[in-house]
A and B are shown apart, each in its own frame.
Chain A
Amino acid sequence: MSDVVEKTLSALPSLLSLDSQPGAGKLSSTSKLGSLIRNITELTSKHEEEKLIKRELAALKEQVSSPNTTMKQMREAMVRAIYCEMLGYEASFTYIHAIKLAQQGTVLEKRVGYLAVSLFLNESHDLLLLLVNTVLKDLQSSNLIEVCMALTVVSQVFPKDMIPAILPVVEEKLTHPKEIIRRKAVLALYKFYLIAPNQVQHIHAKFRKALCDKDPGVMTASLHIYLQLIKESPDMYKELTGSFVTILKQVVGGKLPIDFNYHSVPAPWLQIQLLRILGLLGREDQSTSELMYDVLDESLRRAEMNHNITYAILYECVKAIYSIYPKSELCEKAAKCIGNFVLSPKINLKYLGLKALTYVVQQDANLALQHQMTIIECLDHPDLIIKKETLELLFRITNTQNVTVIVEKMLGFLKLSNDDYTIVDLVGKVAELAEKYAPDNEWFIQTMNEVFSFGGDMMQPDIPNSFLRLLAEGCESAEESRQLRLYAVDSYLAVLQKDSAHLPQRFLQIISWVLGEYSHLKEGLDVQEVRQLLMKLLDRKGVTTETRCWVLSSLMKLCEGPGADEMAQELVERWGSSLDPLLRQQAQELLCLSLDKDLRTRTLPLATTWDGLEVDSSLSFLDGFVAEALAAGAAPYKPPHQRQQEQCQEKALSLEPYGLSLPVSLSSCSLTDRQSPTLLSMSSGQSGNSTEPSNKAGSSKLNLEGVKRVWGKEGYLPHREVPEESAPVEEASSAVQSSSQQGGASDKSSMAHTEPVEQDKEKQQLASSLFVGLGSHNATSLMGKSETPSQRFRRKPRTQVSTSSSVTSEKSDSSHSSRSTVDSFLYGSLLEEEPVLPQPNTSHTPRVTTANGSSETKTQSFIPTNGTFEGEEAEEEEEEPTQTENDITSVTAHRTKQGSLIMNSDMVIVQPTMWSDQPKDWSQDDSGDLLSSGSDTHMETSPLLLLPADLRDLPHSNINTLAADQSLLLSSCHVYRDDALVLVIFLSNSGETPIQEIAVQLNCEQLEVASLRGNVIDTLDGLGTSVCRYTLVMDGAHTQVEMTGTVSYQAGPGHTQTLPFSSKLSLADFIRPLVITTEEYGKLWLSFSHDVKQNLKLLKGDRDPLVTTLDALKETLQLHIVDIIGSEGIVACRLLQGAPCLLHCRIHGDSLAVWLRSSLPGLPDCVLYYCQKALLEH
Chain B
Amino acid sequence: MMRFLLLFSRQGKLRLQKWFLPLPEREKKKIIRDMTTMVLARNPRTCNFLHWKDLKIVYKRYASLYFCCALEEQDNELLALEVLHRYVELLDKYFGNVCELDIIFNFEKAYFILDEFLMGGEIQETSKLTIAKSIEASDMLQETMEEYMSKPAF
> What residues on A are CB-neighbors of B49 within 8 Å?
348, 351, 385
Do residues A347 and B29 form an inter-chain contact, with CB atoms below 8 A?
A: no
A564: interface (CB < 8 Å): no
The total of chain B residues at the interface (CB under 8 A) is: 73
> Closest approach, in angstroms, between the C-beta of A980 and any C-beta of chain B?
41
Q: Are A190 and B122 in contact (CB under 8 A)?
A: yes
- How distant is the Cα of A183 from the Cα of B119 in the complex, in angstroms? 10
Given A187-B119, A315-B78, A347-B46, CB of A37 within 8 Å of CB of B149: no
User: B115 to A152, Cβ gap below 8 A?
Assistant: yes
Residue with the highest number of chain B CB atoms closer than 10 Å, among A21, A29, A689: A21
Kindly supply a per-residue 1/0 record for chain B positions 70-83, scoring 1 wherever the CB is within 8 Å of any chain A CB and 0 otherwise.
Answer: 00011011110110
Query: Is there contact, CB below 8 Å, between B108 and A82?
Result: yes
Which residues of chain B come closer than 8 Å to A311, judged between CB atoms?
Answer: 78
Chain B window 102-118, contacts with chain A (Cβ cutoff 8 Å), 1 for yes, 0 for no: 10111111011001000
Query: How near does chain A come to B2, taking the closest CB pair, in angstroms?
Result: 12
> CB within 8 Å of A: which of B14-36?
14-17, 20-25, 29
- CB pair A692–B73 under 8 Å, yes or no, is yes
Docked Cα-Cα span, A352 to B58, in Å, equals 13
Q: Which residues of B contact A79 (CB under 8 A)?
A: 108
Q: Select which of B21, B81, B122, B123 is within 8 A of A686 by beta carbon.
A: B21
Q: List chain B residues, Cβ under 8 A from A112.
A: 108
Which residue from chain B places its CB closest to the CB of A180 in the assembled complex? Answer: B134
Contact A689 B54 (CB under 8 A): yes
Say whether A88 faces chain B, with CB atoms less than 8 Å apart: yes
Cross-interface CB contact of B141 among A33, A108, A119, A383, cutoff 8 Å = A108
- Asked if B81 and A308 sit within 8 Å, CB to CB, the answer is yes
Contact A11 B73 (CB under 8 A): no
Most A CB atoms within 10 A — which of B81, B123, B141?
A: B123
CB-defined contacts of B105 to chain A, threshold 8 Å = 27-29, 33-34, 37
Let me know if A22 and B143 touch, CB within 8 A: yes
Q: Which residues of B contact A156 (CB under 8 A)?
A: 20, 120
**A12-27: which residues lie under 8 A (CB-CB) from chain B?**
14, 19, 21-27
Q: Which of B54, B94, B130, B145 contacts A259 (CB 8 A)?
A: B130
Chain A nearest CB, measured from B21 CB (Å): 7
A260 CB–B CB distance under 8 Å: yes
User: Which residues of B lie under 8 Å from residue A312 when comparing CB positions?
Assistant: 76, 78-79, 82
Q: How far is the CA of A316 from the CA of B45 in the complex (A)?
A: 25
A999 at the binding interface (Cβ < 8 Å) = no
Over the window 1065-1098 of chain A, the binary record of Cβ atoms lying under 8 Å from chain B Cβ atoms (1 yes, 0 no) is: 0000000000000000000000000000000000
Interchain CA distance A7-B49 in the complex, whole Å: 30
Q: Which residue of A83, A88, A106, A276 contacts B145 across the interface (Cβ within 8 Å)?
A: A106
* B139-154 CB contacts (< 8 Å) to partner A: 139-143, 145, 149
Give chain A residues whose Cβ lies under 8 Å from the Cβ of B104. Answer: 37
B15 closest partner in A (C-beta): A86
Contact across chains for B82 and A262 when beta carbons are under 8 A apart: yes
| A187, B2: Cα distance in complex, Å | 14
Known A-B contacts A348-B47, A351-B47, A385-B51; A268 and B101 likewise in contact (beta carbons under 8 Å): no
B145 to chain A, nearest CB (A): 6
At the interface, yes or no: A422 with Cβ under 8 Å from chain B?
yes
Q: How far is the CB of B8 from chain A (nearest CB, A)?
A: 10
B129–A187 CB distance below 8 A: no
Please measure, in the bound complex, the distance between the C-alpha atom of A26 and the C-alpha atom of B146, giving whole angstroms. Answer: 13
State A1142–B73 Cα separation when bound (angstroms).
42
Given contacts A86-B107, A348-B47, contact A691 B78 (CB under 8 A): no
User: Within 8 Å of chain A (Cβ to Cβ): is B86?
Assistant: yes
Contact A21 B120 (CB under 8 A): no
In the complex, A188 Cα to B139 Cα: how many Å?
A: 23
Nearest B residue to A265 by beta-carbon distance?
B82
Contacts of B17 in A (CB 8 A): 86, 119
Of the residues B25, B74, B109, contact of A23 by C-beta under 8 Å: B109
CB-nearest residue of chain A to B80: A312
Min C-beta distance of A149 to chain B, whole Å: 8
B129 CB, min distance to chain A CBs, angstroms: 6
Contact of A315 among B73, B76, B95, B111 (CB under 8 A): B76
Q: Which residues of B contact A187 (CB under 8 A)?
A: 119-120, 122, 124
Residues of B22-67 whose CB lies within 8 A of A:
22-25, 29, 43, 45-55
B88 in the interface, Cβ–Cβ < 8 Å?
no
Q: How far is the CA of A37 from the CA of B82 in the complex (A)?
A: 30
Q: Are A385 and B46 in contact (CB under 8 A)?
A: yes
Contact check, B120 vs A23: say whether CB atoms are below 8 A apart: no
Residues of A near B145 (CB, < 8 A) are 106, 108
Would you call A693 an interface residue if the criterion is a C-beta within 8 Å of the partner chain's C-beta atoms?
A: yes
Q: A28-B105, A82-B108, A689-B54 are in contact. Are A22 and B141 (CB under 8 A)?
A: no
Q: Which of A4, A221, A259 is B124 in contact with, Cβ under 8 Å?
A: A221
Task: Contact check, A115 vs B124: say whether CB atoms are below 8 A apart.
Answer: no
A260 touches B107 (CB 8 A): no
**Cβ-closest chain B residue relative to A691:** B54
| Cβ–Cβ contact A107 & B119, under 8 A | no
Determine the interface band of chain A, counting residues with CB < 8 A from chain B: 35 or more
**B96–A24 contact, CB under 8 A?**
yes
Chain A contacts for B3, CB-based, 8 A: 688
Cα(A25)–Cα(B94), bound, Å: 9
Residues in A whose Cβ lies below 8 Å from that of B142: 108, 111
Q: What separation, in Å, do the CA atoms of A422 and B119 have in the docked complex?
A: 31
Tell me whether A87 is interfacial, beta carbon within 8 Å: yes
Give A188 to B99 CA distance when docked, in angstroms.
32
Cβ of B86: which chain A residues have Cβ within 8 Å of it?
262
A53 at the interface (CB under 8 A from B): no
Cα(A72)–Cα(B108), bound, Å: 15
Q: Which residue of A lies closest to B53 (CB)?
A: A421
A956 is an interface residue with CB less than 8 A from chain B: no
Q: Check B120–A24 contact: CB distance below 8 A.
A: no
B47 with A386: CB separation less than 8 A: yes
Residue A66 at the chain B interface, CB threshold 8 Å: no
**Complex Cα–Cα for A691 and B43 (A):** 27
- Chain A residues contacting B122 (CB-CB under 8 Å) are 187, 190, 221, 224
How many Å from the CB of B33 to the closest CB on chain A? Answer: 10
Q: Is the CB of A347 within 8 A of B139?
A: no
Closest CB of chain B to A1125's CB: distance in Å?
43
Is A262 a contact of B47 with CB atoms below 8 Å? no
Q: Cα distance A139–B145 when bound, in Å?
A: 23
Q: Is the CB of A267 within 8 A of B126?
A: yes
A85-96 interface code vs B (CB 8 A; 1 in, 0 out): 011100000000
Q: A108-B142, A268-B82, A308-B81 are in contact. Are A688 and B54 (CB under 8 A)?
A: yes
- Set A24, A145, A157, A694: member contacting B95, Cβ < 8 A: A24
Q: Which residues of A contact B126 (CB under 8 A)?
A: 260, 262, 267, 269
In the complex, are the beta carbons of A108 and B138 less than 8 A apart? yes
CB-CB under 8 A for A385 and B125, given A86-B107, A107-B141, A693-B73: no
A26–B145 Cα distance when bound, in Å, is: 16
Closest A residue by C-beta to B81: A308
**Interface assignment of A1038: CB less than 8 Å from any CB of chain B:** no
| Selected contact of A115 from candidates B54, B112, B141, CB within 8 Å | B112
What are 29 A-B contacts with C-beta separation under 8 Å?
A: A7-B101, A11-B101, A23-B95, A23-B139, A24-B96, A25-B95, A26-B106, A27-B106, A72-B149, A83-B107, A87-B14, A108-B145, A111-B142, A112-B108, A115-B108, A122-B24, A145-B137, A156-B20, A183-B124, A260-B126, A269-B123, A312-B82, A347-B45, A348-B47, A351-B77, A382-B43, A385-B50, A386-B47, A689-B53
Top 8 nearest A-B pairs (CB, nearest first) are A312-B78, A123-B22, A691-B54, A24-B96, A383-B46, A191-B120, A312-B79, A259-B127
Q: Spell out B's residues near A (CB within 8 Å).
A: 1, 3, 14-17, 20-25, 29, 43, 45-55, 73-74, 76-79, 81-82, 85-86, 94-96, 99-102, 104-109, 111-112, 115, 119-120, 122-127, 129-130, 134-143, 145, 149
Q: Could you list 17 further interchain pairs (A-B, Cβ under 8 angstroms) beyond the known A119-B111, A217-B130, A221-B122? A: A11-B102, A27-B105, A34-B105, A72-B149, A115-B115, A122-B24, A123-B22, A124-B22, A188-B119, A194-B1, A312-B76, A348-B47, A351-B49, A421-B51, A422-B51, A690-B73, A691-B54
